Structure 1
Amino acid sequence: MFPQQGKAVVVAVVVSHVLLIAGKGLAGGVPAVIMFGDSTADTGNNNFIQTMARGNYPPYGRDFAGGLATGRFSNGRLSVDFVSEALGLPPAVPAYLDPNRTIHDLASGVSFASAGTGLDNVTAQILSAMTLTQQIEHLRQYKEKLRWGKGEAAANHIISQALYIFSVGTSDFLHNYFVFPIRGDRFSLPRYEVYLADAAAEAVRAVHRLGGRRVKFVGLPPLGCLPVERTINPDKPGDCNEMYNLAALGFNARLKRVVKKLNWELPGAKIEHVDQYSLLSDIIAKPWEYGFENSMQGCCGTGYVETGILCALDDALACDNADKYVFFDAVHPSERTYKIIADAIVNTAPHVFH
């Protein structure tokens, strides 16, 4: 018999070996993770365009390697970074617009996302973000750069076998439809949900036309339960805004139907919807079951309204340990929450990786 300490070491080694094998099997030869979306997916692109929607100042990035504020709206990494690492790829996905990155740096993963954008191209205009249409155009450019830098065969392999992730739509409702009467005057809420679902479908079709096949589309979170929306809830301040949550549920239901249709329509496509709404709703309702202490406030500032530059202005008020908070600012998850979302992305329909 082994001494108790020896047993622990053996078990740890066996578990690590099993996880390593499982990780390699799950990846199924995925050569790159390619990201589209908004501030939940932007790893630094907005640093290089004229916009106020930036996260390249403290306290953002304080738990990132080197304590660097990279432009990620998080105290550390985003879900895309954790997905990349889970698939045996680099632990941080670079931003496409970063001039310090070569095509060789981007070959194993890249984010085209831009904080403040939406499925509706009008949404991006509010904060001067890159539209989703522009992000798709950057994918086309990326494909050409791969051909020049890696060769035709390698480029085709990366494009066809990469995992494409979309995380977008929140700003369409919160910045566009509900806050500014840009679309609210033209569309009823159900019609706008249809409009956005159609835009999501066209984005996936555009990726497919460029050669992409493996797609994960992350659904909307419970919009009304974001700390800032609780704070400004006109009916019940401090409670979730149920109208916003119903809007998210309505869009997610349409998105699921779109995904089902696209899998039938597009040859070779493997597209899956990731149910972020249910996951975050459960975390927010029962934070202690996930190891959190606070699901109603963000870590930065007072936690009630601060995001973006407001977090920097109230940096001194930031919490000591962001791991105890579901949200890092009043809109965006903490790194620990992003990790949980990443696990859901990886574990939803793992056949997509094969």
Structure 2
Amino acid sequence: MRMAYIYIPWLLVAQFLLLVPLTTSKVPAIIVFGDSTVDAGNNNVIPTLLKSNFKPYGRDFPGGRPTGRFSDGRVPPDFISEAFGLKPLVPAYLDPAYTIADFATGVCFASAGTGYDNATSDVLNVIPMWKELEYYKDYQNKLRAYLGKEKANEIFSEALYLMSLGTNDFLENYYIFPTRQSQFTIKQYQDFLVGLSEKFIRDLYGLGGRKLSLTGVPPMGCLPLERLTNFLEDHDCNEEYNNVALEFNGKLNNMVRRLNKELRGLKIVFADAYHIVYQMIRRPSLYGFEEVGMACCSTGTFEMSYLCSDSSPLTCTDATKYVFWDAFHPTEKTNRIVVDHLLHSLRGKFR
């Protein structure tokens, strides 16, 4: 999910670095698991209401087309793939426009609305994490048939795996429905989710994955929808939710340190996007932003998915002035800045 204080030179350098392929990279493919922060369009073809394959989503995407990415443009895996010298777009596995040849250098299994907890994916009938892993197994079989076992296995072991999820578990599950609250305190639920994250990573390791970037949750109390409902603090960030995010990220980071020691050959980076996003929200002018409390789409307060309408006269004309595109998701510009911040650790570990 992250610094120099002189905005213009820093950003120009950041954008230049993102456009320079890493020709010495040993990463042959980018393989993505998670939620809407990294979904490239898998939700387009499943029976869920949580979709974004219509305008104004994608209006700043190449060709101005909506793809199912929850943004006005590209999402983090696209920028990471390009920065490692691979293609500038990571395709969705369920998109019928692509074949196994397209997936050989990158593939996305993520599903908007999912979480570590299966109960989270049930809320909006999206793809649970166990199913994302099943799709990955199917992908492995197809790639072995396409490239041969030896070459495919080399890709599986050298690929960079990206995992980004967790926010939905809290905001769309724990804090909304009583079931998990009756079973867990918030700290216990954090531990429960960390345990599920560890199991997924161990399963991925068992399938040959060795290079992994795990992103924690952002300052979720600063999402426009959470600010809208934070009446007691005059619609400022909900710092209770932000503190939960920080504590959860700390637990994920501790798990990452432990697995790096326990699992031979495994290299995990905890990609902490929290602080860079929080900095953008608290000091937006450093990054050229003008609006942080509301999103670009429609009223910018509660809309996402089908409520984010192309016909709304309130939708902003320039998304680069906004940190958030809809009530839950960042703009392409925010995604780019976050990725540039994360690339320092990713390059150091995996090039």
TM-score normalised by length of structure 2: 0.93
- Give the aligned partner of residue 132 of structure 1: 129
- Give the aligned partner of residue 65 of structure 2: 68
2:342 counterpart (341, 345, 351): 345
Q: Is the 8 A contact 1:219 1:274 kept in 2?
A: yes
1:253 counterpart (250, 255, 264): 250
How far did 1:257 drift? 0.5
- What does the per-residue CA deviation read over 1:215-236, in whole Å, with 9 as the maximum and x for residues that have no partner? 0011110010011100011422
- Please give the residue correspondences for 1:1-80 in structure 2 after superposition, counting only pairs within 5 Å: 20=20, 23-25=22-24, 28-80=25-77
- Give the aligned partner of residue 317 of structure 1: 314
1:143 aligns with 2:140: yes
1:302 counterpart (299, 320, 326): 299
Identify unmatched segments of 5+ residues in structure 2. 1-11
Q: Is the 8 A contact 1:58 1:315 kept in 2?
A: no
Q: Is the 8 A contact 1:216 1:345 kept in 2?
A: no
Identify unmatched segments of 5+ residues in structure 1. 1-11
- Give the aligned partner of residue 8 of structure 2: none
- In 2 relative to 1, CA 18–68 (structure 1 residues): closer, same or farther, beyond 3 Å? closer
- Please give the residue correspondences for 1:270-309 in structure 2 after superposition, counting only pairs within 5 Å: 270-309=267-306
CA–CA distance in 2 between the matches of 1:319 and 1:225?
A: 19
Which structure exhibits the higher relative contact order, with contacts defined as CA atoms closer than 8 Å and separated by 6 or more residues?
2
- Give the aligned partner of residue 158 of structure 1: 155
SS at match of 1:114: coil
SS at match of 1:183: helix
- What does the per-residue CA deviation read over 1:70-117, in whole Å, with 9 as the maximum and x for residues that have no partner? 000000000110001111111111000112211001111011000000
Output the amino acid matched with 1:93: V
CA–CA distance in 2 between the matches of 1:94 and 1:345?
A: 21
- Give the aligned partner of residue 215 of structure 1: 212
- What does the per-residue CA deviation read over 1:109-142, in whole Å, with 9 as the maximum and x for residues that have no partner? 0110000000111100000010011111111111
How far did 1:19 drift? 7.6
1:92 counterpart (85, 89, 92): 89
Output the amino acid matched with 1:74: S
CA–CA distance in 1 between the matches of 2:274 and 2:329?
A: 14
Q: Is the 8 A contact 1:300 1:314 kept in 2?
A: no
Q: Which has the larger radius of gyration?
A: 1
CA–CA distance in 1 between the matches of 2:19 and 2:299?
A: 40
CA–CA distance in 2 between the matches of 1:337 and 1:182?
A: 34
Q: What is the percent sequence identity of the aligned residues?
A: 46
1:232 aligns with 2:235: no
Q: Is the 8 A contact 2:34 2:110 kept in 1?
A: yes
**CA RMSD for the aligned pairs?**
1.8
SS at match of 1:319: coil
- Give the aligned partner of residue 330 of structure 1: 327
1:181 counterpart (166, 178, 182): 178
- In 2 relative to 1, CA 184–34 (structure 1 residues): closer, same or farther, beyond 3 Å? same
Output the amino acid matched with 1:129: V
- What does the per-residue CA deviation read over 1:295-341, in whole Å, with 9 as the maximum and x for residues that have no partner? 11100011111111110275432100001100001110000001112
SS at match of 1:123: helix
How far did 1:352 drift? 2.4
- What does the per-residue CA deviation read over 1:38-69, in whole Å, with 9 as the maximum and x for residues that have no partner? 01111000001000110111110001111111
Q: Is the 8 A contact 1:59 1:315 kept in 2?
A: no
- In 2 relative to 1, CA 284–87 (structure 1 residues): closer, same or farther, beyond 3 Å? same
1:269 counterpart (262, 266, 273): 266
Q: Is the 8 A contact 1:83 1:345 kept in 2?
A: no
- In 2 relative to 1, CA 282–143 (structure 1 residues): closer, same or farther, beyond 3 Å? same
Q: Is the 8 A contact 2:17 2:83 kept in 1?
A: no
- In 2 relative to 1, CA 17–51 (structure 1 residues): closer, same or farther, beyond 3 Å? closer
